[in-house]
């Protein structure tokens, strides 16, 4: 168990939250992208992406023995499988025979809520990082 562990724990959370922010930005940027992927000769819209996080824990045995705490890690980025929105726009080059265009399954409200939750979590981790740092500086003063 290292003396700088509390800083690296907060650091892992900062990394995870920054990645989450990147994914949210990507979702918002592509909210109207009707050509997301080229699959089997036709374009399908952009799919909303989500981040899956887990507590970065070692096995329960070492957990008990060494009191190991090691922050958070991003498992993978998963795609939202909910259906695309159909928008009526016959003049659009991507419209089908009925005049509908398939638009991404991105919900702006959901993305904004995710954005705020993530940036608040980021701030909380910065506070924890600063608290740990001030404790380490204080420890240097012992015996002065």
Partner 1 sequence: MNQMIGIMSRALDASSLRQKSISNNIANVNTPNFKPTKVSFEELLQQEVKSQFIGNRTNAKHVLIGETDRIPSPKLEQGNTVFQNSGNGEDLDYEMTQLSENTIWYQSLTYGLNEEFNLLKTSIRAR
Q: Is 95 near partner 1 (CB under 8 A)?
A: no
Q: How many CA atoms lie less than 13 Å away from 55 in the CB half-sphere?
A: 7
Q: Is 124 near partner 1 (CB under 8 A)?
A: yes
DSSP 64: H
Q: Is 144 near partner 1 (CB under 8 A)?
A: yes
- From the CB of 37, what's the least distance to partner 1, in Å? 28
Tell me what percent of the chain is helix, strand and coil, each rounded to the nearest 5. Answer: 45, 20, 35
- Report the site for partner 1 in 32-91 (rule: CB under 8 A): 53-55, 67, 69-72
Strand ranges (DSSP E) for the chain? 37-39, 42-44, 49-55, 72-79, 85-88, 100-103
CB 32 within 8 A of CB 103: yes
Q: Is 112 near partner 1 (CB under 8 A)?
A: no
Name the residues that contact partner 1, by CB under 8 A.
Answer: 1, 3, 5-6, 9-10, 12-13, 16, 53-55, 67, 69-72, 117-118, 121, 124-125, 127-129, 131-132, 134-135, 138-139, 141-144
């Amino acid at each position: 168990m290292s003396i700088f562990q509390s800083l690296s724990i907060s650091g892992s959370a900062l990394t995870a939250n920054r990645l989450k922010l990147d994914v949210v930005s990507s979702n918002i940027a592509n909210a109207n992208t009707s050509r997301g992927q080229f699959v089997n000769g036709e374009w399908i819209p952009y799919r909303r992406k989500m981040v899956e996080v887990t507590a970065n824990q070692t096995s329960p045995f070492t957990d008990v023995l060494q009191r190991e705490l090691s922050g958070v890690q991003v498992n993978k980025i998963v795609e939202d499988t909910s259906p695309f929105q159909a928008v009526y726009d016959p003049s659009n080059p991507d419209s089908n025979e009925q005049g509908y265009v398939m638009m991404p399954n991105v919900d702006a409200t959901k993305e904004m809520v995710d954005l705020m939750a993530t940036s608040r979590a980021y701030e909380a981790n910065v506070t924890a990082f600063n608290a740990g740092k001030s404790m380490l500086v204080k420890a240097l003063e012992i015996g002065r």
